[in-house]
Amino acid sequence: MQLYFAKKLSFTQPFKAQVRSSEIQLKYGSLSLSAISLQTDLNKIKSVSVMHEGKPVAISYKQDKSDIAISFTNPVAISVNQSLQIKIT
């Protein structure tokens, strides 16, 4: 699935077995995130990891049925042509 938000960023979410990956790529401007909520079809997730430009990001997460709320320990600033990758297993 790929969504576009006013051409400012793209969001992709490929599905592979028991792994869900999401990626946010910023097309222009900047974006600061302190939290994000995603949905999954996995009944019980084992882990969530977030990478920003290849570096791990400190997070906490909570699952409520199919909703996953991810909170960043420190806000993440994404600039033009940068991306944020989220992996859920």
- Of residues 15 and 46, more confidently modeled: 46
Fold for domain 2-88?
Immunoglobulin-like (2.60.40)
Residue 5, pLDDT > 60, answer no
Domain range annotation of the chain: 2-88
Distance CA 67, CA 38 (A): 6
Phi then psi dihedrals of residue 34, to 5 deg: -110, -15
The 10 Å CB-count burial string (b at 16+, else e) for 4-34 is eeeeebeeebeeeeeebebbbebeeeebebe
pTM: 0.80
pLDDT digits (tens, 9 = 90+) for 21-79: 888 888 888 999 999 999 888 888 999 999 999 999 999 999 999 999 999 999 999 99
